[in-house]
Structure 1
């Protein structure tokens, strides 16, 4: 019973956060991801070769 109650409290907190969420401009998100990817790649560390860095490349923007 205690676990169910805790899960209900977590769900309520998540629903509250969702209710406060505002729409996000897709273009600004893509630009932010692109800038973050560039910043990571500029570090010249082995992780920059990970394929996941190219996962969100989209030709639209």
Structure 2
């Protein structure tokens, strides 16, 4: 399993997640995803879902 993944939403790079001891840490590549910066996710798919919710206006549920 890779140690990092690129997270894209609607053809825009949201950031990357890097595996750490507690899960996958999110690093935003765009200010639109800064709310997710530093958050830990169980896996890359969970991080992608959070980024997608954030971009679709469901900010409360994304963070």
TM-score of the alignment, normalized to the shorter chain, above 0.5: no
Kindly indicate whether structure 1 or structure 2 has the higher relative contact order, using CA contacts under 8 Å at least 6 residues apart.
1
Q: TM-score, normalised by structure 1?
A: 0.29
Higher helix share: 1
Q: TM-score, normalised by structure 2?
A: 0.28
Higher strand share: 2
